[in-house]
C-alpha cells in the first residue's frame, strides 16, 4: 500500500511538471507582457485599494479606474511619443525619398562637392574622394534608398509591436488588480513551503517592484519636466522633448543624453552658443548629476524606509555590481523592459537563496 502511495505521488508530480511546462510553453509569447503587468500591478496595488474603498467595494470598477489611471500616467505618454516619432519618421522618409528620386548624377556631384569641402582634409584628398563618389553616385543613391526603406519598415514594425505589447499589458493589468489577492493566496496554498517563506518571497517581490517603478518614474518625471520647461522657454516643442527625455532616462549611463546632446548641437551649429550651453548644463549637470546621482539614491532610501525595512532585505538595490549586471542583462534579454525585469529576477533569485539558507540553517556549514 505504501509503495502504491509513493507511485501515486510520483505520477502526480510528473503530471504537475508536465502541466507547468505546458503552460509556460503555451504562454511563452506573453511572458514578458505578464511580467510587466505583474510588476506594475504589484507596485501600484495600494492605489487600487484606495480606489476600491471609494467605489464602495466594487472590484471591477476599481480595477477599471486604476488601469485607466495607469494608462494616462504611464502607458499613454510613451505611446504618444512612439506614435509621434513614427509620424516624424514618415515625414522624413517622404522628404528624403523625394529628394533622392530627383537626384541626377550631375546634381549629386555638386552636392558631394559641397559636402567634401566642409571637411578639413587636404585638397588632393578632397579631389580623390570626389572622384570616387562621382564614380559610384548611382550605387550610393540606390543604397541610400534601400537603407531608408529598411529603416522605415523597422520603425513601423517596432511601433506596431510596442502598441500591441502595451494593449496586452493593460488588459492583463486589469485582471491582476481585480484578482491579484486571490492569485497570490492560491499560489501560497499550492506551495509546500511554510507560509512564512511564501510571504517572504511575495513581500520582497512587491517591495522591489514598488522601489523600481516609483524611483524610475519619479526620476523620469523630474528630468522630463525640467527639460520640457526649458524647451518651451527656448521655443522648442516642449511636450515632445520632455517625454523623449523622460523615456530615455530609463536607459543607464547614456540615458537622456540621446536627446539633449543633439539639441545642444543644433543650437551650436546655428551659432546660438548660449542656448547650446544652457541645454548642455541642464542635461549634464542638473539631469545627469543632480537628479540622477543625488536625488535618485535619496528617493530610493525614502521609499525603502516607508516599506518597513525593505532596504535591508533587497540586496539587489544596495549592491552596485548586482544592480548594474542585472540591469544590463535584462536589457540584453528583454530590451527596454529589462530595466524592470533584470533587477526583479535577480532579487527573486537572492530571496530564494535566503529562503534556502533560513530553512536549512541548522545543517549548513557556518565555519
pLDDT at 362: 75
Report CA-CA distances (Å) from 31 to 136, 167, 251, 342: 48, 14, 22, 14
Distance, CA of 235 to CA of 7 (rounded, Å): 76
Distance, CA of 78 to CA of 85 (rounded, Å): 11
Segments making up each domain of the chain, as ranges: 28-185, 191-359
List pLDDT tens digits, range 83-129.
666 666 666 666 666 666 666 666 666 666 666 665 666 666 666 66
Contact, 303 vs 255, CB < 8 A?
no
Rounded mean pLDDT, 282-307: 79
Residue 185: what are its φ and ψ, rounded to 5°?
-60, -35
Rounded mean pLDDT, 345-367: 77
Distance, CA of 362 to CA of 359 (rounded, Å): 8
pLDDT at 25: 92
Q: Which of 3-12, 76-85, 265-274 has the lowest mean pLDDT?
A: 76-85
Q: Confidence class of residue 213 from pLDDT cuts 50, 70 and 90?
A: confident
Name every residue whose Cβ is closer than 8 Å to that of residue 229 and which is 6 or more positions away in sequence. 238, 242
Contact, 217 vs 206, CB < 8 A?
no
Distance, CA of 301 to CA of 309 (rounded, Å): 10
pLDDT at 177: 93
Tell me the Ramachandran region of residue 255: left when phi exceeds 0, alpha when psi lies from -120 to 50, beta otherwise: left
Tell me the Ramachandran region of residue 103: left when phi exceeds 0, alpha when psi lies from -120 to 50, beta otherwise: beta
Tell me the three state secondary structure of residue 175: helix
List pLDDT tens digits, range 15-71.
989 998 999 899 888 888 898 898 889 888 888 999 999 998 899 999 999 999 888
Name every residue whose Cβ is closer than 8 Å to that of residue 84 and which is 6 or more positions away in sequence. 240
pLDDT at 66: 92
Report CA-CA distances (Å) from 337 to 34, 103, 137: 12, 42, 42
Amino acid at each position: 500500500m505504501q509503495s502504491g502511495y509513493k507511485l501515486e505521488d510520483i505520477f502526480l508530480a510528473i503530471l504537475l511538471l508536465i502541466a507547468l511546462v505546458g503552460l509556460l510553453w503555451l504562454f511563452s509569447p506573453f511572458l514578458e507582457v505578464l511580467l510587466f503587468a505583474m510588476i506594475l500591478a504589484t507596485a501600484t496595488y495600494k492605489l487600487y485599494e484606495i480606489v476600491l474603498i471609494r467605489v464602495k467595494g466594487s472590484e471591477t470598477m476599481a480595477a477599471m479606474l486604476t488601469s485607466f489611471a495607469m494608462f494616462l500616467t504611464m502607458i499613454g505618454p510613451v505611446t504618444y511619443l512612439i506614435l509621434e516619432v513614427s509620424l516624424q519618421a514618415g515625414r522624413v522618409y517622404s522628404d528624403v525619398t523625394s529628394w533622392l528620386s530627383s537626384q541626377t548624377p550631375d546634381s549629386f556631384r555638386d552636392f558631394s562637392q559641397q559636402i567634401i569641402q566642409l571637411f578639413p582634409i587636404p585638397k588632393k584628398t578632397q579631389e580623390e574622394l570626389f572622384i570616387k563618389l562621382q564614380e559610384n553616385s548611382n550605387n550610393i543613391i540606390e543604397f541610400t534608398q534601400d537603407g531608408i526603406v529598411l529603416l522605415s519598415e523597422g520603425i513601423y514594425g517596432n511601433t506596431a509591436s510596442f502598441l500591441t505589447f502595451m494593449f496586452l499589458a493593460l488588459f492583463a493589468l486589469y485582471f491582476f488588480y481585480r484578482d491579484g489577492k486571490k492569485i497570490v493566496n492560491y499560489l501560497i496554498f499550492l506551495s509546500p513551503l511554510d507560509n512564512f517563506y511564501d510571504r517572504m518571497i511575495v513581500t520582497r517581490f512587491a517591495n522591489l517592484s514598488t522601489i523600481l517603478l516609483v524611483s524610475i518614474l519619479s526620476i523620469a518625471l523630474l528630468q522630463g519636466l525640467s527639460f520640457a520647461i526649458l524647451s518651451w522657454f527656448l521655443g522648442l516643442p516642449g511636450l515632445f522633448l520632455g517625454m523623449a527625455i523622460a523615456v530615455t532616462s530609463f536607459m543607464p549611463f547614456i540615458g537622456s543624453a540621446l536627446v539633449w546632446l543633439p539639441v545642444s548641437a543644433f543650437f551650436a551649429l546655428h551659432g546660438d552658443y548660449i542656448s547650446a550651453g544652457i541645454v548642455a548644463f541642464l542635461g549634464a549637470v542638473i539631469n545627469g548629476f543632480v537628479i540622477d546621482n543625488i536625488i535618485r539614491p535619496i528617493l530610493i532610501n525614502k521609499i525603502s524606509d516607508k516599506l518597513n525595512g525593505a532596504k535591508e532585505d533587497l540586496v539587489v538595490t544596495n549592491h552596485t555590481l548586482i544592480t548594474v549586471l542585472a540591469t544590463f542583462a535584462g536589457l540584453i534579454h528583454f530590451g527596454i523592459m529589462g530595466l524592470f525585469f533584470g533587477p526583479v529576477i535577480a532579487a527573486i533569485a537572492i530571496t530564494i537563496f535566503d529562503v534556502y539558507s533560513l530553512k536549512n540553517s541548522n545543517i549548513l556549514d557556518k565555519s
